[in-house]
Each structure stands twice: as structure tokens, then as C-alpha cells.
Structure 1
Amino acid sequence: MVMQKKQIAAGLMILAMVLSLSGCSGGNSQSAAETGKTGKKEENVELSMICWGSQTRQEYTQKAIDVFEEQHPGITINLEFTSWDGYWQKLAAMAASKELPDIIQMDYSKVVQYDNGGLIIDLMPHVESGIIDLSDCEESLWKSGIINDKLLGVSVGTNSMVTVINDELMEQAGLEIPDDEWTWTDYTELCSQIMEKKDELGIKWADQYSEAAIDINQLTFEMLEADCNLFSQDGNNTFGFDKEEGRKVFVHYFETMKDMIEKGYIAPLAIRDEISVNGVENGSIIRGETIMDTGHWTNQLEAMTEAAGHHLTIISMPNHTEKRVQPMRPSQLLCVASNSEHPEEAALFINEWTNNVDMNLELKAERGVPISSKVRAALAETMEEDSAVLQTFDYVDRMAAKAGELEMPEPASYGAIETLIRNAMKDVVDNGGEPNEVYDSFYEQAMTEFEMTSEEG
């Protein structure tokens, strides 16, 4: 499963060719760090930055900031960290008071909402001025931040959905790790085989099935398999399917999850909610309670491996149909708040995050495969052959050929729809709701939410 370094280097070249549309553009041949061009003298500038993520991510981020501050002694970065669940509530409160941090770690699903509110700036002028240098970045990767004809953020890494497997327990069970072409039938059969050896392995379930947020991620995945999109791709604040198209996918998903949980194949919803709050380092696969964890993103492997203390293997998500789909998107974007008093220095920090090898050696590609080819090559040279980072590089390379066009960011109602989906899932799984009736209620509430949000906008 693990590639040798020469194979990794070749894989990185393939990834660049597959993902590149027409070469690179924007920026100068030198980075802003080399030219020192911020348009201002770097002296006694204090910037704030906010991120979500694991304890591992927080430690890596702070070390990268320390490198930046050492190389730019006139700039100080004050980092604030929180969990995913608390992040957006905190950010919304900051936005309401026009006190957003200078630098914001932004999820792709939320960027349109913050642009519509005039809360983040267009970074393209800073690319054109040379402060942000994207010349070593594949165009298809950095252009993921272009929405509404503006560069609203710079991707910190490429991300794809995975199934994480405890290969030590799989070997103990005498079972083989599936390949990337496995199906949902293969998945359920493997879950059954694992549960037959439950007591011998000392586990509770076959699969944790990620955290609570997986419901909307998995539905996005299954909609693509059904030749639909969960949300509109023309910029409208609505679904990308009609009611009866959606019924087939949603009801099947509700019924499947209920059946899998009742059989003990996957963990109860309460366990997944717990992980959503406490972080991936505290997941069931880390505690030895499951062998698999389906529906994570590649950038989470580093933190999970460190917490587990042993090697973990990643393979593709199991597919329901012969159509192979593989969502691939920016893991996060770095954006600059419109209320920032130091946008050029904030843009310089984003440039260094993108291009500075020393900073990226500290970041360890934990947020995803870096968009700079030079950074990827430098990281590959320093990593152990069985490291989580090289495994994610290899995986993204394998999945690149299966990835379709990047979907539009989720609409303004995304957060409310995500909550409705979670509630609908709980109604079916925990409260015994009839799936079709639950879907009808969910759809009606969702359409009302879309209408209300559109009127507010």
C-alpha cells in the first residue's frame, strides 16, 4: 500500500499533470518573502488568525506561525483555535460586531455566505501585485478559491474522502484490506465478517462511520452517484434535485443507516456526535472500538495516525453503483477579513503559508496535499516511507482521475440544511420515524428555509 519515495515523486508529477488545466498564472517568479514587497514596512504589525481543528493541528499551526514570525520580526500572529462545532457560532458573533480576525480559516461550504455579507476581500489584487505568488501552484488547485469572479481565498490543501482502516486489527482478524474499487456490497460483507470476530478483536462496532457531519458529506457523495447534485450548481439557494429525485436517495440512505446501526456494523449516532465535539483523536478507531472509519477526509489522517500510535491505511469510499465518483475539494481556504486594518500583511502570511517550505515542514500537510509543487516535492523528500503524509499524497494522486468538476460552494442556507439533515437522520434511526414521512417533513422545512434565507439576502 505504501509507495517508495521514487514512486511518490512520480505520483506527484502525475498529480500535477492531471490537475493542471493550462499551467500556472499570477504572481512573480519570487515569493513576497524573497522580495519583501508588501507595499508597507513590516514593523509592529499585529494580526489575528482563527482556525478550527484537532490539538495536533493547533500545535502544527503554532509552530508554522513561529517560523513566520522569526522570518518577519515586524509581524506578530495571534492564533485562536476552537472545535468545528463551536467555530461557526463564534465566527458569526465576530462578524456581527465587525471584529473578524484578519486571517480566517474558511470551509469551502461557507465561503459564499461570507462573500455575500461583504465580510472577506478579493485576494486577486494581491496576486497581481506579487504579494501572493501562485506561480508554483497548479491553476486548477488555486482557482478553487475563485467564486463570483473573485479570489476569495487560497486553498491550503487538496482533500478527498476516505475510509480509514486499522490494518493491524484487519491482519489479526485474518481479513484483507479492499482495493479502491470496492462496492457497498463489499463493504457490508466486510462489516459482517468483522462482527463475527467482534469478541476476539475486542471491538464494539465494525465502523465508526466518521462524525455527525458525514450525513451531509455522504449524501453529497450519493447524489453524485445518482447523477444529481445535493445543491444547485447555478448559484441559486436551493437543492440541485426535485423532490422525487431526492426521495429515492434520502430514503435509501435513512433506511441503510438504520439497518447498519441496528446490526452493530456502524456506531450509534450519539457516538458520532461525540467525536464531532471531541475531535478525531478521540474517535472509536483510535480507542480500538472499531476497525474502520468511513467518511473522513484525507487531511485528517495525520492527526488520527499520531493519536493511534500506529499505521492506518486509507482506501476509497465504497460505491453503491458502477459509476465511480470521488469528491475532491479544497480542505480549507485562507481568507482575509474585510475589516482587517492590515490586508497586505495578511496576504503576505497567506503567501508564506502557500510557498514557504520551512513553514510547511511544520504544517506537515495535515490540512491536505499542498497546492505548491515545490512544497510537495520538499515534503516528500523529508517524510518516512510509511508516513501518513506520503500516504495522502499517493491517495490524492490515485483519486485525481476519478474526480469530476469541483462543485459550487454550498448555498447560504447550508448550515440550516445540515442541521435539518442531522435531525431527520435522528428521527429515523433513534425515534423510529417512517423514512418517507421524515423525508416529506424534511423537504418542506428545507424549502421554507431556502425561501426565508433568500428573502433575507
Structure 2
Amino acid sequence: MSRKKRAIVPVLGLSLMLAATACGNNGGSNGDNAANAANAGNSNKGGETKAENVTLGMMWWGADERHEATKKALELYTQQHANVTFKPEYMAWDAYWQKLPTLAASKTIPDILQMDAAYIQEYVARGQLEDLSDIDLSGIVDPNVIENLKIGGKLYGIPLSQNAQGIAFNKPELEQYGIPLPQKNWTYDEYFQWARDARAKLPEGKYPIGDSTDWGGFNLYQTSMGKEPVMSDGGKKFYLDKDLFMTYYKTYEEFRKSKIVPPAEKGAAFLENDPQADPMASGVVMTRGATTGSVSALEQLMPGKVGVVNEPTGPAGGGWAQSTIFLSVSANSKHPEDAKNFLKWFITDKEAGKTLGLTRGIPINPEIYKELEPTLTDKDKLGKEIYDQSVEKALPFYSAAAGYSEWVDTYLKEMTAVAYGQGSIEKAYDKINKMGMDLAAKAASGS
């Protein structure tokens, strides 16, 4: 996810060959009556078994490039499996997560849905996702990856890619103003000092870095310093280090006053991957968060201008690099086996792999990546570069635990208020910390 939307995660795709195919003619030239009789219950008058016609709803988020590639992949599947058609629905990140809870409440989630590591535990806890443990991924996905993704010993999402979070930067503008380019494995101290130094060289109206108001940004900082993640043990443990919290947000308070980050009003108007409103593509901010899957969209807006580096690090490491994006099956699907078959196909079919490219990050299936590698464009190679830059120091991806959605929203609301000068950092900490501790106690008690 982007720096603004760190679904830290994060944050993968899949499919399986459909088993229901038409059987051959049972009769043959010699009229094998025994075979005909054995298959009479499953055959039509012509002696041919026909697969049931199925329409699978599928829902995902992403940029236009992902939308177009996914629609082509669905068309390819229908060409190979004539009885299966799709009802696709796709949208931007924010709209997706605003709509999905409504669909979940009415039990109308489509058969197949894209899922993110930041939210999957929540939907599993509510019983809204199908168990996918019976999909055989041997030889496709590393067994350790599968084990790390299991929730309560079961698999609820098929990983689509190896993803990583990094930072994209505007190479020519930094060079134009004599600002050193970000370097691999920079520390948080170096990152913050780089921003101060860059501010001194940039003209008015341009900013070295963006603001940080969501919980994911701070969680990266806290874990990089060797502390526990904010949430762990399925939400039963909660830890918000006050000293680190105050240090981190007082730094950003300083940055707002010094115009190192954009004012809150300007930041609120940013819209990632929009030609005019993207913070970096618009030329306003010199850096922004990017993942292996999202950086290609930024490169399309700024061809040849995008450089990438890993997240800032601390003594324990920094950033993350792992599977964060999945395809899941709705627990209310009327066609769960057809949906599962499609999931395995999605990550194993070579033609589908060529069609999908790196629109969801580096393909989880190494055979698919080998097929793609010789044909990758510069924008596609940037995704691999983010992963390669990040993997050495990467920490695990920590998602929000089930039951913490309101806390995540409250965190963003409180820190946004601080950014607008409408609240103090300490009072925000007190409110956020108390709410988190209460949720952890509730989860631990099983109530």
C-alpha cells in the first residue's frame, strides 16, 4: 500500500484449473453400451455431460492498468472454460473498503474478492471468507509463505505476489536542486535529516516528504526500533510506545512548521496516481510511498523520472517485504468450488500471467515471473527493484487485528486533527492508547 495507505502489508492473486469440463462421447464407433448405461444419469440424449453454466462475481481495487489486465484475464478464462463467465466490479482503494463492509453486512459479497493483509483477519473473524486450505499450492507457493499466511491453521486468501513497501522519489527534480538521492538502508535519523537538508534547497511550494497520520507509518517506526508491533496475538496484545510516539510525531510537528511537509489542507487534496493530484506526479512532493504493484502506475505518470529506495530503517530493520494481497472466496458463494478452481488458475496459467504482468506486484509463482522477466518494461522493473531494495532489512507485515477498525479510524482522525493544529500529540496518544488497551482486554477475555 502507499505511504498514505500502508496497508503494510502488505500487500497477491491466484487460480486453479476448472475441473468441470465436457466429457467425450460415451458411445464410440462400436456403441459401448455398458459405458453408456454407467453414465446415463449424467448424460444428455447425445451421451455428453455438460458443465453447469456459472457466473462468478469478482471484485477488486487498483489502478486502471490493473483493471484492464484483470478484465482480459477473465476473458481468457472464459475462452478456456466456456461455461464460466464473470461479473466484474472494480474501483479505487478507498471506495473498495467503503463498499465492502456494506456488502458483508448484507451477505452479498461477490464470489471472488481481492483481499488485503490489513483487513483479512477482520473478515475471517466475522466468518465471511471460505476456507481455501484444500487448494493444492505445492510447487507454486513456498510452504513457509503459506504457513505464515494461515489464520487459525487455515488459509483464507491465495497470495498473488511478493510485495514490498518502499519510497519512490523524483530523480530529475532532486538532481536539479542539488539534493542527494535517497540511499538504500538509510536510517530514520538519516531520512529525517535528508528531509531537513532538502527543504533548504527546494523552492517555495515544493516539499521533500509527505506527512504521516495513519497508524501504519508509526508502526513501521516502532517495530524498526526493536519494539513489539502495535497489535499482536490476534489483537489480544496492544502496545503503543509513548516515548517513540512523542518523538515521531513531534518530528512531524516540527516539519509542518518548517514547511518540510505540505500543510494539512494541501495534503488532504492529494489523490495518488491522479495526473494532477498525485503528490509526486504533480511536482509538489519529492517522495511518496509505493509498493511493487503500485509504482508502475506512478512511472506511467512520470516516465523515466521515478527512483525507488527501501523504507527508513532502525536497529531492528525497517519496512516489509512479503505477500499482502490475496484473492479470497466469499463464505456465501453459491459456487465455491468453481471459484477455487479459478483462483489456482489465476496464479498458474502462463497466458494469464503474461496478461496480468506485475499489476499486483511480483508474481507469487516463480515460473510466471521467469516467463515475464525478458519482456519487462522499465516501469515493471521498478517493482522488482523495490522488492530487492527492501528484502534485506524487511520486517514482517503487521496488519490491523480483527475488531480494530474503529481504532484505525480513530487514530487517523486524531492525528489528522493534530496536523490541522486542532489537538495536542499527548492528548491524541492518551485517547488512542486507551482505546487500544480496552480492545486488547476485550479480545483477551473473549467477550
Match for residue 424 of structure 1? 414
Contact 2:165–2:386 (CA under 8 A) maintained in structure 1: no
Q: 1:392 and 2:383 equivalent?
A: yes
Q: Tell me the CA shift for residue 32 of structure 1.
A: 4.5
Q: What amino acid maps onto 1:316 in structure 2?
A: N
**Counterpart of 1:69 in structure 2: which amino acid?**
T
The 8 Å contact of residues 144 and 406 in structure 1, kept in 2 or not, is answered as: no
In terms of Rg, which structure is larger? 2
Shift of 1:248: 1.2
Distance of 2:270 and 2:82 partners within structure 1:
38
The residue type equivalent to 1:47 in the other structure is L
Alignment of 1:52-131 (within 5 A): 52-127=61-136
Q: Secondary structure at the match of 1:353?
A: helix
1:291 aligns with 2:286: yes
Q: How far did 1:155 drift?
A: 0.9
Q: 2:7 matched to which residue of 1?
A: none
Q: 1:221 to 1:135 in 2, by over 3 A?
A: same
Counterpart selection for 1:266 from 261, 266, 281: 261
Indicate the residue corresponding to 2:210 in structure 1.
208
Q: Does the residue aligned with 1:121 lie in a helix, a strand or coil?
A: coil
Distance 1:435 1:38 in 2: 59
Listed as ranges, the matches of 1:152-163 within 5 Å are: 152-163=156-167
Contact 2:235 2:443 in 1 (8 A): no
Which residue identity does 1:339 align to in structure 2?
N
Report Cα offsets for 1:118-154 as digits up to 9, x if no partner.
1111111232xxxxx4423222334443111101111
For the 8 Å contact 1:237–1:412, the answer to whether it is kept is no
Offset of residue 263 of structure 1: 1.6
Alignment-mate amino acid for residue 207 of structure 2? W
- Report deviation, 1:400: 2.4
Moved more, 69-78 or 445-454: 445-454
- The aligned residue for residue 394 of structure 2 is 403
Query: What is the identity, as a one-letter code, of the residue corresponding to 1:368?
Result: G
Residue pair 2:111, 2:336 contacting (<8 A) in 1 also: yes
- 1:314 counterpart = 2:308: yes
- Rounded to whole Å, the distance in 2 between the matches of 1:426 and 1:405 is 26
Structure 1 counterpart of 2:156, one-letter code? L
Could you say if the C-alpha distance between residues 353 and 274 of structure 1 is closer, same or farther in structure 2, counting changes exceeding 3 Å? farther
CA contact (8 A) 1:121 1:335 kept: yes
Question: Are 2:233 and 1:234 equivalent residues in the alignment?
Answer: yes
Pairwise CA distance, 1:452: 6.4
Cross-structure match for 2:431: 441
- Cα gap change, 1:236/1:438 in structure 2, threshold over 3 Å: closer, same or farther? closer
Counterpart CA distance in 1 for 2:61 and 2:191 is 31
Residues 331 and 367 of structure 1 are in contact (CA less than 8 Å); yes or no, is this contact kept in structure 2?
no
How many equivalent pairs are there? 406
Per-residue CA shift, 1:60-94, capped at 9, x if unaligned?
Answer: 22222222222222211211112222322311111
Q: Quickly say closer, same or farther: Cα 1:141–1:397, change in 2 above 3 A.
A: farther
**Distance (Å, rounded) in 1 between the aligned partners of 2:100 and 2:51:** 27
Matching residue within 131, 151, 154 for 1:150: 154
- Among 234, 243, 250, the alignment partner of 1:248 is 243
- Residue 369 of structure 2: aligned partner: 376
Q: Distance in 2 between matches of 1:454 and 1:82?
A: 36
CA-atom RMSD in angstroms: 2.7
CA separation in 1, counterparts of 2:305 and 2:138? 34
Q: Does 1:354 align with 2:347?
A: yes
**Alignment partner of 1:37 is 2:37:** no
Partner-residue secondary structure (3-state), 1:439 = helix
TM-score (norm 2): 0.82
| Ranges in structure 1 where 5+ consecutive residues have no aligned partner | 1-26, 128-132
3-state SS, counterpart of residue 126 of structure 1: coil
For 1:456 and 1:82, the matched residues in 2 are separated by 36
CA distance in 2, matches of 1:269, 1:323: 31
The structure whose residues are more often helix, as a share, is: 1
2:169 matches 1:169: no
Q: Distance in 1 between matches of 2:216 and 2:157?
A: 22
SS of the equivalent of 2:362 reads coil
- 44-53 or 439-448, larger mean C-alpha shift: 439-448
Q: Which residue of 1 aligns with 2:5?
A: none
Q: Which moved more, 1:368-377 or 1:37-46?
A: 37-46
C-alpha distance in structure 2 between counterparts of 1:406 and 1:455, whole Å: 26
- 1:342 shift after superposition: 0.9
Q: Which amino acid aligns with 1:291?
A: M
Equivalent residue letter for 1:342: H
CA contact (8 A) 1:238 1:450 kept: yes
CA contact (8 A) 1:167 1:311 kept: yes
Structure 1 residues 185 and 236: alpha-carbon distance in aligned structure 2, compared to 1, 3 A threshold? closer
In 2 relative to 1, CA 403–204 (structure 1 residues): closer, same or farther, beyond 3 Å? closer
Q: Is the 8 A contact 1:206 1:264 kept in 2?
A: no
Structure 2 equivalent of residue 5 of structure 1: none
Amino acid aligned to 1:146: K
Q: Taking structure 1 as reference, are residues 403 and 181 closer, same or farther at Cα in structure 2, changes over 3 Å only?
A: closer
Distance in 1 (alpha carbons) for counterparts of 2:232 and 2:446 = 21
Preserved CA contact (<8 Å) 1:109 1:414: no
Deviations 1:428-452 (A, max 9, x none): 2212533222211222233345566
> 1:380-429: CA deviations, max 9, x gaps?
11113xx132232233234323234554x431133212112112212322
1:196-218 Cα distance to aligned partner (Å, 9 max, x none): 3433xx85212235xx7x62221
Determine what percentage of the aligned residue pairs are the same residue.
23
Distance 1:363 1:204, change over 3 A: same
1:223 and 2:222 aligned: yes
Structure 2: which amino acid aligns with 1:372?
A: N
Residue 46 of structure 1 aligns to a residue in which SS?
strand
SS in 2 for 1:230: coil
**Displacement after TM superposition at 1:454 (Å):** 7.6
| AA in 2 matched with 1:441 | K
Distance 1:217 1:329, change over 3 A: farther
